[in-house]
Amino acid sequence: MNRLIKETVLDTGQTLQLVQGDITTEATDAVVNAANRYLKHGAGVAGAILRGGGPVIQRESDAWVNAHGPVSHSAPAWTSGGNLAARFVIHTVGPVWGEGEEAQKLGAAITGSLRVADELGLASIALPAVSTGIFGFPLDLAAQVICTAVQDYVKNKKTSLRLIKLVIVDAPALEVFAKAWDDHFSA
């Protein structure tokens, strides 16, 4: 069972939550998948989402790439949630550490995910620690970039999103994200 760690209600009306647990069990309108450019879902968050959501997610992902081409950092794809509690999966491509301009690309991936949620008219979204697994992005920098992107997005845009969750699976990463949370969202 997922556990609420921190919650902040912003002046703009959004509720932000830091949650420890499994993103595939979140009953938000959308969950964000940390994907590769070709939406081949194998390991990490992508593998867990595919296992939980079923093969329909891979079929819809393949159809997206066939119709639109490889996914960029700033323009995520989306599919149904399949068997997940979430209605949609937003597939964002985070950067691989060492490819250059990683912080800007990660910020664009998070902003792009929030924008797609708005385009779909969604009220809630759950985001993982994009790029911090097999893509090797350092946790402390990723936590700062992700929190900054969320903060800037809700502060600078009219958004349909009312609830934004950062869902972190393991305790060491959660500790790093909790510090970044305090830097960005504590009064």
pTM value is: 0.96
CATH 3.40.50.300 fits 3-170, yes or no: no
Report, as ranges of residue numbers, the positions in the chain whose pLDDT lies below 50.
none
CA angle 128, 134, 140 (to 5 degrees): 60
Cβ atoms 115, 78 nearer than 8 A: no
What is the model's pLDDT at position 186? 81
pLDDT digits (tens, 9 = 90+) for 109-139: 999 999 999 999 999 999 999 999 989 999 9
What gap in Å lies between CA 158 and CA 155, rounded to an integer?
Answer: 8
What is the model's pLDDT at position 187? 59
